[in-house]
Amino acid sequence: MSEMRFTDQHEWVRVDGDVATIGITDYAQGQLGDVVYVELPAVGKQVEQDKEAAVVESVKAASEVYAPISGEVVAVNDALADTPGKVNEAPTGDGWFFKVKIKDKKELDALMDEAAYQKYVEGLA
């Protein structure tokens, strides 16, 4: 099982070899409400850590999704175009946004592990 890491902007990353799958957390989707649209980056695009990489829109608001790690986008979750609600149903599963070929694994050190993220979220309540 690959370890998940988290940002303070509520993105998650799951690393498998040199590819990272990225999405938003359950907390983030809960704050957004019903997701109605997701704008994903193009395959081949270079994304930079902490920079905008995607946009998610809900009935409440539009929000940027920041890349938790730098790299080249190698896949996007095309299913979200037709069923953006997958982000609400399974934010860390079928609701993933995009995958990147990792540029520098050291960037993962700046991210929180699951325990630290849970503590962070509890502090927001």
Q: What is the CATH number of the domain that holds 52?
A: 2.40.50.100
| Digit-coded pLDDT (tens) for 12-61 | 999 999 999 999 999 999 999 999 999 999 999 999 999 999 999 999 98
Other beta carbons within 10 angstroms of residue 120's beta carbon come to: 15
Q: Is the pTM of this model over 0.85?
A: yes
| Digit-coded pLDDT (tens) for 79-121 | 999 999 999 999 999 999 999 999 999 999 999 999 999 999 9
Residue 91 domain flag: yes
Angle at alpha carbon of residue 85, lines to 26 and 38, rounded to 5°: 90
Residue 78 domain flag: yes
- Cα-based torsion angle of the residue sequence 54, 55, 58, 60 in order, rounded to the nearest 10 degrees: 130
Range(s) of the domain holding residue 78? 4-104
Residue 113 domain flag: no
Residue 67 domain flag: yes
Residue 90 domain flag: yes
Residue 64 domain flag: yes
Residue 116 domain flag: no
Residue 109 domain flag: no
Domain count, the chain: 1
